[in-house]
Amino acid sequence: MVDVSILIINYKCADLTIAAIQSVKDWTKRVSYEVIVVDNDSQDQSKAQVLEQHPDIQWIDMGYNAGFARANNRAIQAAQGRYYLLLNADTLQNMDAIDVCVERMDAEPDVAASAPMQLYGNGSPQPYFESFAEFRRIFYIVPIRLQAWVERMLPATVYTDPRQHDWLVGAFMVVRREAVQKVGALDESFFMYGEDVEWSYRLGKVGKLLYYKDLGFLHLTSDSPFRRTDVSYVNRFNVQMQVSNLLWLRKQYGVGAYLVVMLNYALLIPIFTGWKAFVNLKNRRPIGSEMENQRRFARRFQMLLRYFWPTVFNRPGFYKIKPEENIA
């Protein structure tokens, strides 16, 4: 059995995957490891390109675009390591973070999972959510004056260990095999986003989740059709991201919390549109002018409603949006 199984999902990003594996080899010297790459039906030359550069890795073809959770679960089934490392293809190692994470977790058996800090390509730190409550707050789109009230209603978890957090980002996440055996693998209803949050909730029941803030890794920005575009205070989510986020909210906090957020969005449409119409009239413009932001929000909410009943009843499925539902 090796110390750590490094699990990488490839989807039309052979160059990134090759670089990610090479950086692992360059920086990981003290622990034994295997690399398992799962391909989400890239339909390109990814397999040949990656294996040409790294013939020692294990390659698994999913046969369809299975997203993050299902592809990682397939890798976990094949993995032999004492630890699983979920590692994004768009990452680079810039220190011996893998070695240190394994060594520290060996010394602290009560730790279920750990991670170093995310860094931008230039080495500067990336912001991150430190608690479930902080993450939930961004779901609510309320007037600025009510944000302090939302913070009071959703207080952050306080731990005595400053390294401990509610959840870890799945871009680099070292998970103890025994913890997965106790709580199960990733929830396969998630396609992309939210699955690491939900998994962290279950993992946190059997051990600590630690950020080692003296360690880091580079998380690059790769192109994805599901990344947010035209972000504003109101239009802060894309459809796939919010379908997954709301699924997590329903699973972890119940139907009431889910319905409150959906009601918030439903009420916001007439308020947001009416406010803009008032501003237009006040400025003597046509009442419907410059409504692109309002229309985009309404269309995105309409897409969320397509997943309303499955989410309300927490039905198992595959919550992957259709291409036409991805409102840019």
Residue 307 has a pLDDT of 97
Q: Is residue 146 part of a domain?
A: no
| 171 and 287 co-located in one domain | no
Model pTM?
Answer: 0.92
Report pLDDT for 226.
45
Amino acid 110: pLDDT: 98
Taking residue 264's Cβ as centre, other Cβ atoms within 10 Å add up to 13
Same domain, 199 and 274: no
> What are the residue ranges in the chain where pLDDT is below 70?
222-231
- For residues 212 and 252, membership in a common domain is answered with no
d(C-alpha 238, C-alpha 246), whole Å: 12
Give the CA-trace dihedral at 114, 134, 185, 24, to 10 degrees.
-40
Q: Rounded to whole angstroms, how far apart are CA atoms 39 and 304?
A: 28
Judgement on whether residues 252 and 206 belong to the same structural domain of the protein: no
Whether 293 maps to a domain, the answer reads yes
Domain, as residue range, for 118: 4-130+165-219
Residue 230 included in any domain: no
Under 8 Å between Cβ of 72 and 9 = yes
Number of domains observed in the structure of the chain: 2
29 within domain boundaries? yes
Distance CA 295, CA 303 (A): 12
